[in-house]
Amino acid sequence: MGFPAPPAILAAPDLPALELEKDPAEALFRIYTWMYYARTVDNRMLDFFRQGLMKGTLTGGQGNEGLIVPLALLADKAVDVVSFTHRDLGGHLIWGGHLCHHLNQYFANADSPTRAREGNIHHGDPANRSIPMISHLGIMCGTVLGATDSQRRLGRPAVGFAFFGDGSSSTGDVHEAMNLASLLSLPVVFVIENNGYAYSTPVSEQFAPGTELWRRAAGYGMEGLAVDATDVEACARTLATTIGKVRATSRPMLVEARTLRLRGHAAYDTCNYLRPGESESFFARDPLPRLRARLAAGPEAKRVEAIEAELDAFIESCIQVSLPTPRPAPAGLEAGLFAPPGAPLPWRAEPAEENLTMAQALNRGLRKILTERPESLVLGQDIGTYGGAFKVTEGLLDEFGRSRVFNTPLAESACTGYAIGLAVNGHRPIEEFQFADFATEATTQITLNAATMHFRSGARCPLVLRFPCGSAGLGSFHSQELESLFLSMPGLKGLYPSTPQDAFNALLAAYEDDNPVILFEHKGLYRRGKHPVAWDPGYRDIWRPRRVRAGGHATFVSYGEMVLLAAEVCDYLATEYEVAFDLFDLRALSPLRLDDIEASLARTHRLVVLHEGRITHGFGAELVARLVERHFAHLAAAPLRIGALDLPVPFAPELEAAYRPTKDKVIARIAAWLG
Ligand SMILES: Cc1ncc(C[n+]2csc(CCOP(=O)(O)OP(=O)(O)O)c2C)c(N)n1
Ligand SMILES: [Mg+2]
């Protein structure tokens, strides 16, 4: 069934700032039209929730239209960036897409824009820079920063809009993002939708009495102001001025909009926490009937009635299309996790062979990428003049300049969100974490924002996250092996090279991938001797395991620094025990390509897995489970799994050696296993 034709007035979802001055009556009529439209759709969806036809957390925007409608009308939909929140249905309707398309999202049917993989207001329109929100409030601020910066880098005069509520204003990401925007001078309007409540919690239980949120702007070196979103005309004028100023100055601003939440937190909210009469007081301040009364008292009276009737009929006819649309089918669900591989990038056949450490090989790789790929950026703490904690980025700032190689503040979450925004808009950032475990600060951004991006929205998120990992005498907080933690979340790829050439290849392969890829770089390998490194046209083979030693007695799987140890162990066992192992360097931890290893296991009937990380919930558990599931009937012995103790990483070298696998311990375990 085709989609019904919308009322003509919806065809121009814009409000030129000048119109507010030249023809305020027409401007207000346009604003009213969209407010009425958004309110009616929100109300109809509440009906469907109550009938059990819409599910999930249905959060309404009733009461917030006085903010979101003028703002979205004033924004430049051709260049600007938004990530609407759960109160911003009006913004979604204005940004684009037929109403049936939005209803399909809420009905989670076969034609849903997220293919019913995400619910309700989480859809966005990434192709048009409306970045789909995730539930974790505050998180999207960083992403808006990145996509806005990406637009500016592409020469487009964009403004970004980062929304959050009074409740979300307490999240760390909001503060990290405001600091980052001010530091980088990004043209972003931070919009606080202050409706007085976070779910059931009033502002009096969220921040100290007397706090005026907009005043926080001063602490970040930006301008701030408050606006009453129940006074639609004044709100529209203030927003027009603010947007114009941010666009012209490229400085961020903070706007605290005093707004309303008329229908509680979500469709299921009992609102039993409201004070007597409080709900009535909200409705008394509702801007929609007040604006209607104003227009109905003037020459627009007839037009108001006519557009309401036209919108009502349109909305009902769209419901008639979306409601009977078939339920979604699970076909293609798993294939949708990762963005499919693109064509290999046209790399130049250089550099020529040189003997390099792994740190130098990564440096050459970064230099090659920055030289050949204009969409690339390198960011991270101390990676500029200092060259990074491990000197991997040494010299890059001098060669490529601060716009492409830059230090970030200690704000891993917002900086990763910023990198995600850049990636979604067509840039390809490479982010260095100073030590892998500082990535836990950005866990939400990595595992829930970046990793799920393609599955839930179809958008590509080409991002390289460099994790200097592994123990190297630095104690608990700089020595983690985090592959199990991160790669247990779907949507992340992971490469873990063990040689300088593999590190060079892995960087190029990760770079050209259209998904977030974690590059695990063992600190103990950065300077473990120099080895030949050159341009390798077969660099994409890094996604498969490499055979390191050949043998028939057992299949031995390892990765990272442990591959070097495993090779020494194999050589020792070959000499002393006269047993030869088929040793594989796994290299790609996600996605897993185990066919070569399985072919080996089918011959050897014995399996050893060695990794540096902890045993319990360790990566070896997954490897052993997968391989044994398929080869159980052919195994001649129980698999042997070797890893670290289930402890935080201890500091003193003697204790660290007791914690992690060492050559002697691995030989002893294998010797005992051989019997
Ligand atoms: C980081 C985070 N913690 C908890 C929640 C659960 N939650 C969803 S909405 C909400 C209240 C948000 O309040 P506010 O930011 O004021 O936005 P409002 O719903 O009032 O528009 C909470 C606690 C969440 N989404 N994100
Ligand atoms: Mg709130």
The letter for the amino acid at 524 is G
Rounded to the nearest angstrom, the distance between the alpha carbon of 203 and the centre of ligand 2 is 8
Is the separation of the CB atoms in 533 and 505 below 8 Å? no
Q: Quick one: average pLDDT of 362-370?
A: 98
Q: Is the CB of 173 under 6 A from ligand 1?
A: no
What's the confidence (pLDDT) of residue 472? 84
Q: What DSSP line would sit under 305-326, residue for residue?
A: HHHHHHHHHHHHHHHHHHTTSP
Pick the ligand that lies closest to the CA of residue 413.
1
User: According to the model, what pLDDT value does residue 408 have?
Assistant: 98
Residue 1 has pLDDT above 80, yes or no: no
Average pLDDT, the chain: 97
Q: Is the pLDDT of residue 297 over 80?
A: yes
Is the C-beta atom of 199 inside 6 A of ligand 1? yes
Judged by its nearest atom, the ligand closest to the C-alpha of residue 86 is 1
**Mean pLDDT for the stretch of residues 347-352:** 97
Q: Is the CB of 260 under 6 A from ligand 1?
A: no
Pocket of ligand 1 contains residue 136 by CB under 6 Å:
yes
Q: Is pLDDT of 525 > 90?
A: yes
Is the pLDDT assigned to residue 371 strictly greater than 80? yes
187 CB within 6 A, ligand 1: no
Q: What is the mean pLDDT of residues 301-316?
A: 97
Q: How far apart are CA 27 and CA 385, in angstroms?
A: 52
Cβ 258 under 6 angstroms from ligand 1: no
Tell me, in angstroms, the distance from the centre of ligand 1 to residue 453's CA: 21
Q: What is the reported pLDDT for 665?
A: 98
Please state, in angstroms and rounded to a whole number, the distance separating the CA atoms of residues 255 and 191: 5
Active site residues: 412, 478
Which numbered ligand comes closest to the C-alpha of 165?
A: 1
Q: Is the CB of 166 under 6 A from ligand 1?
A: yes
Closest-approaching ligand to the CA atom of 200? 1
Could you tell me the distance, in angstroms and rounded to a whole number, from the CA of residue 165 to the centre of ligand 1?
7
**Residue 135 CB less than 6 A away from ligand 1:** yes
Q: Which mutation among 121, 168, 197 tests ligand 1's pocket best, with the greatest number of atoms within 8 A of CB?
A: 168
pLDDT over threshold 80, residue 598: yes
Whether 602 shows a pLDDT value over 90: the answer reads yes
d(CA 321, CA 349): 55
Percent of the chain with pLDDT over 90: 98
User: If you write DSSP's letter for every residue of 527-584 in order, what string do you get?
Assistant: TS--EEE---TTGGGGGS-EEEE--SSEEEEE-TTHHHHHHHHHHHHHHHT---EEEE
Q: Which residue among 163, 164, 173, 199 has the greatest number of ligand 1 atoms within 8 angstroms of its CB, and so is best to mutate?
A: 199
- On the question of pLDDT at 319 being above 90, the answer is yes
Q: What is the pLDDT of residue 496?
A: 98
CA of 334 to the centre of ligand 1 (A): 30
Please list, residue by residue across 642-667, b when 16 or more beta carbons sit within 10 angstroms of its beta carbon and e when fewer do. Answer: bbbeeeebbbeeeebeebbbeeeebb
Residue 342 confidence (pLDDT): 86
| Cα 198 to ligand 2 centre (Å) | 4
Please report, rounded to a whole number, the percentage of residues in the chain having pLDDT higher than 70: 100
Residue 675: the pLDDT is 82
Confidence of residue 604 (pLDDT cuts 50, 70, 90): very high
Output the CA 56–ligand 2 centroid distance in Å.
19
pLDDT at 471 over 90: no
Q: Which of 123, 217, 17 is nearest to 459 (CA)?
A: 123
Nearest to 91 by CA among 68, 75, 74: 68
pLDDT digits (tens, 9 = 90+) for 9-67: 999 999 999 999 999 999 999 999 999 999 999 999 999 999 999 999 999 999 999 99
Confidence of residue 619 (pLDDT cuts 50, 70, 90): very high
Strands 197-198 and 201-202 come out as antiparallel
Cβ–Cβ under 8 Å, residues 72 and 15:
no
**Alpha-carbon span 53 to 106, nearest angstrom:** 9
Ligand 1, atom 12, residue with closest C-alpha: 198
CB 31 within 8 A of CB 13: no
Which residues have their alpha-adjacent CB atom under 5 A from ion ligand 2?
Answer: 165-167, 195, 197-198
Pocket lining: 57 vs ligand 1, CB cutoff 6 Å: no
> pLDDT of 251-293, one tens digit each?
999 999 999 999 999 999 999 999 999 999 999 999 999 999 9
Q: Which residue's C-alpha comes closest to atom 9 of ligand 1?
A: 199
Report whether residue 122 contacts ligand 1, using a CB cutoff of 6 Å.
no
DSSP assignment of 626-658:
HHHHHHGGG-SS--EEEEE-SSPPPSSHHHHHH
Q: Which atom, in ligand 1's list, is nearest to the CA of 166? A: 16
* pLDDT for residue 249 is more than 90: yes
Interval between CA 168 and ligand 1 midpoint (Å): 6
pLDDT mean over 511-519? 98
| Residue 390 backbone phi and psi in degrees, to 5 | -115, 15
pLDDT at 494 over 80: yes
